[in-house]
Amino acid sequence: MKIALNILLVFASIGLIYLLVETIRKPINFKETREFREVLVRERLKQTAELQKVYKSLRKKYAESYDSLKMALTNDTFLIDQVMGDKFDTNQVVTVIQIKLPAKDSLRGIIKKNAPDPNMSVEEYFTFLRTVPFSDGKEFYLKASEAIVEGTDSLMAPAFEAGTTLGTYLSEFDSASHVIYDPEFNPNSIRKVGDLYKPSTTGNW
């Protein structure tokens, strides 16, 4: 009887130790996992914003989808003014020549600088860019609109927004069981760059 009681006490002790370890491990795992994935998500959103700026310089507005973004950056051209002569010298005749530069050259430079593999094809890069990390293939949303410029009554400017919910890339964490680690954690919260209601290219982090 005494041996059986000692065995039960041993198992009870092991169980308590396990619960203690889990109590310590879970919040640490949640914090580290979230921080790691946040970095990857933010990086892709920043790259999307960078491409949107290039798109806007081409078409004076933002792209409404990743397909539109890819199409413009692989087919459009920049028109660059090259000034021949000194425009401040009244004795010279100044000539302005427009030079066409393929947007694809700029895109290739962005891929080389930002992609995990600088040798990625355009198709591979956009698949990478639009896919939310740790989401089983889910994609960021991308929308474009016009918004009133702050400080004006009616002046409109192009606006865009790209993002996803926290739950998309942290699907194993639910608010009910993890709110004790972060009271503000909500899987339905949006992680985004840009804003449909004001001209902005910054993220909400």
Domain boundaries, the chain: 40-76+103-194
Give the tokens for residue 25: 């491990």
- Look at residue 8 in the predicted model and tell me its pLDDT: 59
- Look at residue 204 in the predicted model and tell me its pLDDT: 95
Phi, psi of 89 (to 5 degrees): -100, 110
Euclidean distance between CA atoms 55 and 63, whole angstroms: 7
Could you tell me if 172 and 29 are in contact, meaning their C-beta atoms sit under 8 angstroms apart? no
- Global model pTM greater than 0.85: no
CA atoms within 13 A on the CB side of 159: 17
Going residue by residue through the chain, which has 205 residues, state the pLDDT in tens, using 9 for 90 and above.
Answer: 666 555 655 555 555 554 444 555 556 678 888 999 999 999 999 999 999 999 999 999 999 999 999 999 999 876 565 666 666 666 677 776 666 778 898 899 999 999 999 999 999 999 999 999 999 999 999 999 999 998 888 899 999 999 999 999 998 887 666 666 677 788 899 999 999 999 999 999 9
Expressed in percent and rounded to 5, the helix, strand and coil fractions of the chain are: 45, 20, 30
- Chain centre distance of CA 2: 62
Report helix angle 66-75 to 122-130, nearest 10: 150
- Look at residue 179 in the predicted model and tell me its pLDDT: 64
